[in-house]
Structure 1
Amino acid sequence: MVGPRKGAFAEEAAEVEVLEANIEKMKTLTKKIQASRNRLETSGKAMNEAMAPIYGNTAKLQTTNRNIDRILDAIDKLRAPLDQSNREDRIINQGLRNVDLQDYIASLGRTSQSLAELRRTNMRANQQAVAEMSALLKRGLRELEDAFRDILRESCRQTVVPLEYVMKNNPFPTIPQEQLSTLRLINTHISNTFAQISQSDVRETPTQKIYAEVRGEYVTRSLQDLSAASINTAKKVTADAIYRKGTNGIGIYAQGMEGLFVAEYDNITNIFPRDEWTTVCGATCAAPLADFTKTLRELNGHIQRNLMTDCFLGYEIVDIASRLSMRLEQRMSALRRPIQDSIKPIRETSKASMNKLLEDTRARIQTLVALPMDGAAVPVTTSTMTRLQEMTNYLSPISSILASLGDGGWKSSANTGSSSSLPLDVGPDGQRLFEHYASDTIETLLQNLDGKSRVLMKNKSLQGVFLSNNAAIVERMIRSSELAPLMEDYMQKKLEPWKKKASSWYLEAWREPSGYLLDVQYTNRKERPQSSTAGSADSVAIVKALGSKDKDAIKEKFKSFNTSFEELSQRHKSYKMEREVRMHLGKEVQNIMEPLYSRFWDRYHEIDKGKGKYVKYSKVELGQALSGLS
């Protein structure tokens, strides 16, 4: 066992010696590698220090090279607009007549783009090129503007007679679609280019101005005849004739103007962008509206000179122009204010007329030096009511005018009220204001007639007939016209008291014959006369019971009654009475006299034993006489 064990130890010892020898070799190799690394690092540092300057110079050269390439590219780009300008200059200088419109506009578009690029460079060397290109562009734009104007003038060559379109209710002609397309194309390019050339806040482009001038003149020229007709138809044939609605040409004038304005608006919306519609429309319609304003100014002078008869023309103009303004405002809001301003003078005249008409009614009565001695109504009553009747044809503008004056404001000539245009709405408030105005007018009429009759008429009976006649005309003209539904309250509350007052004045004269039919009965006597109305037996008994003095008194009463009744009957028939007045007053007299006479006759008709010496009328005969008064 000892022998094998020693052999194993010897083998392991040999292996250890080999390992140690290898380790020693490894250490030696490591030292050599470390020495080589140190030498390599030293060499690398030396190399880096030597190469650094060379690398930096190379990088700078690369940057410089790239910058040079960029400059060359920029120069090429700067030269491109100049080269393009030379090409476009040949096209533009040929003129629009020798070049297709599309090609011409395309050339101008390229020129405009080139000019914009040159301006962005902001180089001093390009200033001359910018000036030359700007001049070229302006020359081209002038060509387009001339073409735009020529097309518009061509569209205006055919004369338009507005009256024909108004009478047939046809739409007014617009610019043909082909021309509209060309105008739209030109306008679009000019607008865009002009904004670039001006380099400022552009409020009006050349095409806007050209369109407003050419088409505005066309509309103005088309309306000249209607303007002249409006003035000519205002001339009066009969000095005191009241103006009748629709007889003046202003209505046709307004319709023609509206039709032309609507047609122009359709043209404008097909040529210009939306944000320019209002501006172009206002400029185009400015000249026609100026003529319209001038026409209304002349008509206003005519109305002022004939205010009492032609104020109704003023109401009609206010109505027509206000409604025109509201209709056009839905499309062309720019026209509302000019139209309203144009009618302001006539509106003020119309407002003043409300008080002037009242004053005229009062003055015409106060200047009367005599009244009809037969009690007939005076013409001022009919003329005043005719005015009120005519006013019902203008309820819309009159309601607006009265509203601006305020309720009762028409009583003072100093009250001008608000000058603003109020809505044309004949609602309950408008009707109420007109009712108040009409009531004040009639009250002014009747009060002044009442006062004048007290001064100029000798007795109340005649005054009653006179006032009754005038009140009857008032009532009749209310009931036979559009005043009826508006004045119902007035007739019940105010006119009826006037009628009762007039009747009472007339009936005062009939108190005298009525008094003769009254007798005295003594109720304290033991035997008082019978009061039966059964027949002659009663009358015989009553007369027989009378003393001689009482009989003489009864006879005298019959005689006095006969005289007074015949005198009043004759006077009644001599009065000039309106049909309804005669019937009414005759009935009133009959209602008073017939029962009194019937009773008196029943009691005392036997006073002359049927001889007719004192009792001239039987009950039937008196009834017939009284019926003849109606």
Structure 2
Amino acid sequence: MAVGLGSKAADEEARAEVEVLNSRLEKTSQLSKKIQASLSRLESNGKSMQDAIGPVYGNTQRLQVLGSNIEGILSAIEKIRLPSDIKNSEEDVIRKGPEKAGLSAFLTSVKNVNKALADMKRTNLRSNQQSLADLSRLLKSGNTQLESYFAKILQEESRPIEPLHFVTKDKPFPALGQDKMTLLGLINSYIASSTRQNGLGGDSPMLQAYASVRGPYLISTLQNLASASVNTAKKKTPDAVYRQGTNGIGTYAKGMEAAFVAEYDNICSLFARDEWSKVFNLTCQGAISELARTLRELNAHIKANLSTDCYLAYEIMEIMTGLSASLDSRTGELKPSFAAALKPIRETGKSSLADLLEDTRRRINGLQAMPQDGSPLPVVTETMTRLQTMVDFLRPISSIMIAIGDGGWKANAAPGNTSDQIPSLKSFDISADGKQIFAHYCIDTIDTLLTSLEQKGKVLIKSKPALGVFIANSATVVDRMIRGSDLQPLLASRMADVDKWRKTGVQIYTLGWREPSTHLLDVQYTNRGRPSSGGSAGIDSSAMHKGLSSKDKDAIKEKFRLFNVSFDELVAKHKSLYMEREVREILGRQVQQMIEPLYCRFWDRYHEIDKGRGKYVKYNKAEISGVFLSLG
């Protein structure tokens, strides 16, 4: 019973839940229908709205396009009007020029025109072609006026100055004024920038504009120094030997260095670093061309007076090399230009060594007469003076010697270094090689001198003693001029080469004294018990005289007579010859050593032949010794 009641209650509960679910389902269905109806009404309303709004939206889009087009047209009109506006606003300033308008205002106007022109070129509107041409002409006019103004400012600062005032007082040459430099810098900066901006390529025209003004300034400033270098080379005495420092080339070089250094400082202050080299070379080239012309004139003078003025070539080489090295260390420029200018002088310096040797030969070979008293010729002193003077220029000569090589002065020598490059200071080092080669050149010069004199003397000097004295005198003068000068340390090891010539002269001279010595040779009468030795100790002349036959006595008398005649002639000849002090001493001693022992021996044997009357025996031993002493 209880179970039946529980089952019935469960069924009732299940039916109640089903009814609730059905009720909810019904409500959901009704809600779906309402939603569907709302969606239908919404779709209908949306279509109506689209139909209504569509035309409005289309009109709005067209209005937007139209507005955009109008803005473009207004912009184009503005661009078309801009060049005309720029031209009108800037033309008056540009026409006035930088002086009247003021440089700052003028530069502003030119920059505005330049910018407008660049903008127009980018738009490339056909309608702006005329305006483009107008602005181009206006810009060109402005740039031209700036360049002219640049040149005018420079010109005002480029009046030639008197260089000696600065050189003698060791003062730097004047630089461009700071106020002017500021104006020049503004102009140069704009022109350089404009040149790059407009893609014109190449260098700024201001480089050439600067050089075209400052170049002539340098030429004019240095002109007097160039003229003085030529004028001081002219000689009042034709055969005067050039003396170091007497030409104006040293002052010229100092002035040029000071002027170039000042110019380089100006350029560094005004131009960009990558432009310094070009502007400096352009500016200095005219002055260097004038230097080259001056050196050519000096070179012609040197070649015409080589034997006396070759030293000027050596001096110029050293001075110009120093100038080139100094400027190169300060600027890094101009070395090739100086090398080209110096080349003629350097070639003359190199060829002078062989030419001077040949000149020595030519002068001696051209002699028509020579001194018969053995006097040395002036060519000996002149040649040695030349070598002495060369030592004063040993630096440049050492450079030449190294360039041409040992023996390069000889006629058959291979050509030396022909480089156009200016020698460096290192090559001017007086190195052992350079000095040694110069010493070889000196010995070759001396050998050429003395050989030529000996050959010519054999033809023109009639007597052997005179020829011997002539050679000995010449060698002695050479020896003395070496020992008394700066040649001595260079040639100390080669003095034997000089002394052999003096010995040659002595040998030739003593050949003439063989004749009297032959008269002092007698026959040894050994079969008569007389001493056969050459010694005179213990010889009794009286006893020997008694033992001689009449024929032997006559022969001895004749020997004394012939000796006296020959001896007296040679003594007289000896005293009549001109001899250098050293030569007279050497020859007197040589003759004494050659004759006196023979005579004393002969006198000891036979002086009793004339019983002291002096008819045949003219000199006793003391007397003849006195004669020999007088020869020295």
Q: TM-score range by the shorter chain?
A: 0.7 to 0.9
TM-score w.r.t. length of structure 2: 0.84
Q: Partners in 1 of 2:606 and 2:39 — Cα distance?
A: 175
1:466 is the counterpart of 2:470 = yes
Match of 1:450 in 2: 454
The match for 1:577 among 579, 598, 602 is 579
Q: Please report how far the alpha carbon of residue 467 of structure 1 lies from its aligned counterpart in structure 2 after TM superposition.
A: 0.8
Spell out, residue by residue over 1:372-429, the C-alpha distance to the aligned partner (whole angstroms, 9 max, x if none): 1111112222222222223223333334444444433333399765152444513223
Counterpart residue number, 1:345: 344
2:436 is aligned, of 428, 432, 438, to 432
Alpha-carbon deviation of 1:186? 1.6
CA distance in 1, matches of 2:560, 2:236: 62
Q: Which residue of 2 aligns with 1:244?
A: 243
**Between 326-335 and 237-246, the greater mean CA deviation after superposition:** 326-335
Cα deviation, residue 576, structure 1:
0.7
What residue is the counterpart of 1:164 in the other structure?
A: 165
Question: What is the letter of the counterpart of residue 271 of structure 1?
Answer: L
CA distance 1:360–1:40, shift in 2 (3 Å): farther
- TM superposition shift of 1:475: 1.7
Q: Which of the residues 476, 479, 482 maps onto 1:478?
A: 482
**Alignment partner of 2:488: what SS?**
coil
C-alpha deviation, 1:90, in angstroms? 3.8
Q: Which residue of 1 aligns with 2:110?
A: 108
**Farther-moved stretch of structure 1 (58-67 vs 98-107):** 58-67
Q: Which moved more, 1:608-617 or 1:561-570?
A: 608-617
Deviation at 1:547, TM superposition (A): 4.0
8 A contact 1:187–1:272 mirrored in 2: yes
Q: How far apart, CA to CA, are the structure 2 residues paired with 1:371 and 1:377? A: 9
State how far apart, in whole Å, the 1-side matches of 2:584 and 2:36 are. Answer: 154
What letter corresponds to residue 239 of structure 1 in structure 2?
A: P
Which residue is 2:180 aligned to? 179
Q: Match of 1:218, as an amino acid?
A: Y
Shift in Å, 1:599: 6.0
Q: 1:546 to 1:128 in 2, by over 3 A?
A: farther
CA contact (8 A) 1:539 1:606 kept: no
Instruction: Report if aligned partners of 2:545, 2:609 keep a CA contact under 8 Å in 1.
Output: no
Q: Is the 8 A contact 2:535 2:601 kept in 1?
A: no
| 3-state SS of 2:420 partner | coil
Q: CA deviation at 1:531?
A: 7.9
Q: Deviations over 1:59-101 (max 9, x none)?
A: 8976886676577567656755654444333433343233332
Q: Is the 8 A contact 1:543 1:551 kept in 2?
A: no
Distance change in 2, residues 1:458/1:97 (3 Å): closer
Quick check: 1:212–1:283 contact (8 Å CA) kept in 2?
yes
Q: Compute the RMSD of aligned alpha carbons.
A: 3.9
Pairing partner for 1:498 from 498, 501, 514: 501
Per mean C-alpha deviation after superposition, the further-off stretch among 77-86 and 127-136 is 77-86
Q: Secondary structure at the match of 1:116?
A: helix
Residue of structure 2 aligned with 1:20, choices 18, 21, 29: 18
Distance 1:379 1:483 in 2: 19
Residue aligning to 2:369: 370
1:338-359 alpha-carbon deviations (Å, 9 max, x no partner): 3322233333334443333222
- Contact 2:560/2:617 (8 A) holds in 1: yes
Cα distance in 2 for residues equivalent to 1:488 and 1:467: 21
Distance 1:188 1:546, change over 3 A: farther
Q: Secondary structure at the match of 2:490?
A: coil
- In structure 2, distance between residues paired with 1:437 and 1:43: 130
| Inter-CA distance 18–301: structure 2 relative to 1 (3 Å threshold) | same
Residue 142 to residue 527, structure 1, CA distance change in 2 (3 Å):
closer
State the one-letter code of the partner of 2:225.
L
Aligned with 1:548: secondary structure? coil
Q: Give, in whole Å, the separation in 2 of the partners of 1:23 and 1:522.
A: 195
In structure 2, what is the Cα distance between the partners aligned to 1:616 and 1:240?
A: 52
Structure 2, unaligned runs of 5 or more: none
CA distance in 2, matches of 1:79, 1:126: 9
Structure 1, 77-86 or 106-115: larger mean CA deviation: 77-86
Matched residue type, 1:152: L
| 1:325–1:339 contact (8 Å) kept in structure 2 | yes
2:200 counterpart SS class? coil
Describe the SS at the equivalent of 1:486.
helix
Deviation at 1:149, TM superposition (A): 2.0
Task: Summarize the Cα distance change of 1:70–1:599 in structure 2 as closer, same or farther, 3 Å threshold.
Answer: farther
- Secondary structure of 1:396's counterpart equals helix
From the superposition, tell whether residues 601 and 48 of structure 1 become closer, same or farther in structure 2 (CA, over 3 Å): farther
Give the length in aligned residue pairs. 621
Q: Any unmatched runs of 5+ in structure 1?
A: none
Q: CA deviation at 1:624?
A: 3.6
